[in-house]
């Protein structure tokens, strides 16, 4: 900063008797450096003005130097005069440009958008659960009330778990390249949640009572009721003296809890390689009550699950005693249940991430 009154004169020369100042070249050079330095580092318009007053003001150092020029040693005089003049010009220009700089910075920040704390906030919408998740959670809860716990298995399966251990022979059409997504390493994307039955039985002894929800994959062409990626929930109950009636009772309880108390359950004979006997399980149409409508395609029934008594060959594979062990298994499509329950006409709506559609469920 600028010098104070008492040291002012010593900035440009040597004070001699009676307050008189002798200007000399060396001191002046130091003054010049200081002045330019102060001008460069001043951080406000006021600080710049103080620098100007100190060096260039009417009672400032440079007018004083000019006044004292006659006292300078004759051999230095010309040089002192030149230096003082060039310094005055340089400092004036520097002050000018620094002033512009500081003003510019100042006005830029003046115009910068100021955050208005009184503006209403941007509301963040609370998400909703996906209908597929809702059906899975509800199904798990319903079976949970019957003592089932949740088990999970990998989406990428070995052919052994997806087919062989489920008594599905090498020539079975489900193993066709056209029906299944095969990976280069010989594994595949599971076509059903049934391989989890095998994994669970391989790892523990009866009694077993599990449900296993998850993704499945088939090389289906997508249409209103098919998707190459879909979800199933599998159930497996293994113990002694388990009967088909137990299976029907469990699925009837599920039907009532999931669809409503008036929904009836029927079994139709069917075939699956890993259950014997095998059934397909239909629920009476909850829309028309069984009279026949568009949803049930006029039949009054809707196919919900594949099921049956676990084939003794499967027990053999996992090392259970096929004589003393009995059990049932079922597998149902989650999307099918969601579509019926919520009246969703096209399976593709479930995968398109259209928020207008998804927000309807919660
Ligand atoms: N995994 C069979 C399917 O996807 C369904 C099923 C599961 C059948 C369990 C019987 C027992 O079609």
pLDDT digits (tens, 9 = 90+) for 192-210: 999 999 999 999 999 999 9
pTM: 0.68
196 C-beta closer than 6 A to ligand 1: no
330 C-beta closer than 6 A to ligand 1: yes
Give the residue from 133, 129, 138, 182 showing the smallest Cα distance to 159: 182
Burial of 232 (0-12, 13-18, 19+ CB in 10 A): buried
Q: Is the pLDDT of residue 47 over 80?
A: yes
What would the pLDDT profile of 211-242 be if each residue is shown by its tens digit? 999 999 999 899 988 999 999 999 999 999 99
Distance 164 CA to ligand 1 centre (A): 14
Distance 272 CA to ligand 1 centre (A): 7
Distance 183 CA to ligand 1 centre (A): 22
What stretch of H or E contains 140? Answer: helix 131-145
197 C-beta closer than 6 A to ligand 1: no
Q: What is the mean pLDDT of residues 322-345?
A: 95
Cα dihedral angle (204, 208, 214, 217), rounded to 10 degrees? 80
Give the residue from 42, 132, 146, 159 showing the smallest Cα distance to 94: 42
Ligand 1 atom 12: residue of nearest CA: 306
Question: How is the chain split among helix, strand and coil, in percent rounded to 5?
Answer: 45, 20, 35
Q: How many CA atoms lie within 13 A of 218 on its CB side?
A: 18
Ligand 1 atom 10: residue of nearest CA: 307
Nearest atom (ligand 1) to Cα of 232: 4
The architecture in CATH of the region 131-358 reads 2-Layer Sandwich (3.30)
What would the pLDDT profile of 239-278 be if each residue is shown by its tens digit? 999 999 999 999 999 999 999 999 999 999 999 999 999 9
Q: Where are the domains of the chain?
A: 8-111, 131-358
Burial of 153 (0-12, 13-18, 19+ CB in 10 A): buried
Pick the residue with more confidence: 115 or 285? Answer: 285
Distance 306 CA to ligand 1 centre (A): 5
What would the pLDDT profile of 134-143 be if each residue is shown by its tens digit? 999 999 999 9
The per-residue pLDDT for 212 is 98
Nearest atom (ligand 1) to Cα of 166: 1
Distance CA 100, CA 108 (A): 12
The per-residue pLDDT for 6 is 43
The per-residue pLDDT for 176 is 84
315 phi, psi to nearest 5 deg:
-60, -40
DSSP 114: P
């Amino acid at each position: 900063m600028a010098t104070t009154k008492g040291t002012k004169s010593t900035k440009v020369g040597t004070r001699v008797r009676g307050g008189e100042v002798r200007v000399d070249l060396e001191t002046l050079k130091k003054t010049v450096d200081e002045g330019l330095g102060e001008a460069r580092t001043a951080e406000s318009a006021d600080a710049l003005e103080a620098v100007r007053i100190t060096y260039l003001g009417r009672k400032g150092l440079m007018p004083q130097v000019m006044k004292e020029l006659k006292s300078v040693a004759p051999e230095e005089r010309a040089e002192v005069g030149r230096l003082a003049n060039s310094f005055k010009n340089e400092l004036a220009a520097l002050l000018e440009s620094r002033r512009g700089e500081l003003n510019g910075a100042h006005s830029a920040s003046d115009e910068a958008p100021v955050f208005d704390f009184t503006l209403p906030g941007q509301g963040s919408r609370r998400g909703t659960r996906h209908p597929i998740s809702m059906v899975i959670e509800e199904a798990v809860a319903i079976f949970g009330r019957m003592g089932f716990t949740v088990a999970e298995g990998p989406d990428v399966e070995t052919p052994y778990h997806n087919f062989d251990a489920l008594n599905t022979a090498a020539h079975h059409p489900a193993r066709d390249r056209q029906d299944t997504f095969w990976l280069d390493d010989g594994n595949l994307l599971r076509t059903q949640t049934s391989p989890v039955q095998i994994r669970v039985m391989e790892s523990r002894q009866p009694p077993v009572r599990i449900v296993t929800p998850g993704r499945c994959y088939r090389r289906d062409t997508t249409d209103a009721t098919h998707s190459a990626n879909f979800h199933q929930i599998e159930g497996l109950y293994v113990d002694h003296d388990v009967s088909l009636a137990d299976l029907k009772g469990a699925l009837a309880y599920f039907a009532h809890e999931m669809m409503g108390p008036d929904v009836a359950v029927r079994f139709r004979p069917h075939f699956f390689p890993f259950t014997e006997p095998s059934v397909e399980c239909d629920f009476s149409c909850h829309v028309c009550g069984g009279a026949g409508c568009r949803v049930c395609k006029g039949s009054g029934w809707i196919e919900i699950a594949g099921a049956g008594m676990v084939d003794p060959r499967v027990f053999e594979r996992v090392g259970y005693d096929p004589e003393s062990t009995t059990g049932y298994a079922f597998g149902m499509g989650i999307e099918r249940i969601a579509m019926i329950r919520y009246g969703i006409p096209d399976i593709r709506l479930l995968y398109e991430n259209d928020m207008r559609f998804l927000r309807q469920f919660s």
